[in-house]
Amino acid sequence: MKMAWKEMMKYKMRYIILGSIIFLISLLTLSISGLANGLSQDNAALIKNMPEGTFYMEESAEESYNFSSLSDSQINEVKNIDDNATFFSIQMGEFNDSEEQKHSLAYVSASDDQHFPAVEQGEIILDQSFAEEGLAEGDTIGNELTDEDLTVAGFVEQEKFSHSPVGFISSDDYSSMYDTDTFQLAFSTESDAAVDELSAFSNDEFLNTIPSYSAEQLSLNMIIAFLYVISGMLFAIFFYMINVQKLGTFGILKAVGVKTITLFKMMWAQMFIITVISLLLASGISELFNIFAPSGMPFHLTLDMILYSSAAFIAIGFVGATLSGIQIKKVEPMQAINQGGA
């Protein structure tokens, strides 16, 4: 470690350049990870906030929840496997506020309040973002699907679906608005048993049935994966070039008896120091951005994500540096002795 640090201090500029590039790549990776997670929350916070369980949807709906409509017999079958199952529906819609301004939202109605807020007939509980737009508790809102106004009964944090804020309404209001007396989906935390004519989905599988969710996440995750690969290659190329310049020194050190593993440890220590400093800076800046980003921006970076990303960067840096270190293993003391040196 001491030798690694000494060398870095001696040749500061080359290590600062590498560190700067790693810092920029890690900052970009964390930013895109934050954006991917933010978009994921924006697209599906309603589902992501639910506990792990099984979602049931009509088989004939072909994985499009809005085409699903559970029959009474299907509802009974789900109740047979889990008496506490929740039934719910989601419909994209809109409402007009007291100033006749239109707002789009996803109406959600459920059979009980196990996983969603309890709401009385004639009331609506809205996502917090509407409060930021000026709506307040007690305000009334209307829409073209019903003559009855709904009173805002409260707000909930981060409840979004398909990039729209959610409004929770009672099943009676939902029935009158959409002229239906059933639900689209069932959710059970206790059973994942197969039910005739219903498709079962885990939470992650259900997220992928949301239009655009998987396409959006795959694109961003692809970029993140490429950034990891680039950082690994960068370490490999950088240490390859540095090691080529140091082969003479390595050869002499091997000649006097220094173990090859000691030379590898020196390189790993340098990789570790550069990566940790770069990650600390990148994490700090990302976290500041997380705090100060405009509220409308879908950016959500968690400590877990920072820790996983950092672990991935360190692991990839280790692999990249080790691959480039094959030269260290190959170098013969004789090569170095026959060359000039300090």
Binding site for another protein (CB under 8 A): 3, 6-7, 9-11, 248-249, 252-259, 262, 332-334, 336-337, 339-342
Q: Which residues pair with 32 in a beta bridge?
A: none
Query: C-beta of 247: minimal distance to another protein in Å?
Result: 12
DSSP letter (8 states) at residue 122:
T
Q: Residue 18 or 282: which CB sits closer to another protein?
A: 18
Query: C-beta of 241: minimal distance to another protein in Å?
Result: 16
The CA distance from 110 to 214, in Å, is 25
Q: Which residues pair with 187 in a beta bridge?
A: 55, 86
289 exposure class (CB count in 10 Å sphere: 0-12, 13-18, 19+)? middle
Going by C-alpha positions, the residue among 65, 58, 156 that lies closest to residue 113 is 156
User: In the structure encoding, which two tokens stand for residue 260, read together?
Assistant: 């090859």
Query: C-beta of 4: minimal distance to another protein in Å?
Result: 10
Q: Residue 121 or 339: which CB sits closer to another protein?
A: 339
Query: C-beta of 298: minimal distance to another protein in Å?
Result: 47
Q: b/e per residue, 226-263, with b = 16+ CB within 10 A?
A: ebbeebbebbbebbbebbeebbbbbbbbbeeeeeeeeb
Q: Residue 27 or 336: which CB sits closer to another protein?
A: 336
- Which one-letter amino acid corresponds to residue 223? I
The CA distance from 182 to 174, in Å, is 10
Q: Residue 303 or 342: which CB sits closer to another protein?
A: 342
Going by C-alpha positions, the residue among 86, 129, 136, 137 that lies closest to residue 106 is 129
The CA distance from 41 to 290, in Å, is 14
Q: Residue 108 or 253: which CB sits closer to another protein?
A: 253
Query: C-beta of 12: minimal distance to another protein in Å?
Result: 11
Query: C-beta of 340: minimal distance to another protein in Å?
Result: 5
Query: C-beta of 21: minimal distance to another protein in Å?
Result: 22
Q: Residue 10 or 52: which CB sits closer to another protein?
A: 10
Q: 42 and 293 in contact (C-beta within 8 Å)?
A: no
Q: Residue 80 or 339: which CB sits closer to another protein?
A: 339
User: In the structure encoding, which two tokens stand for residue 264, read together?
Assistant: 């590898």
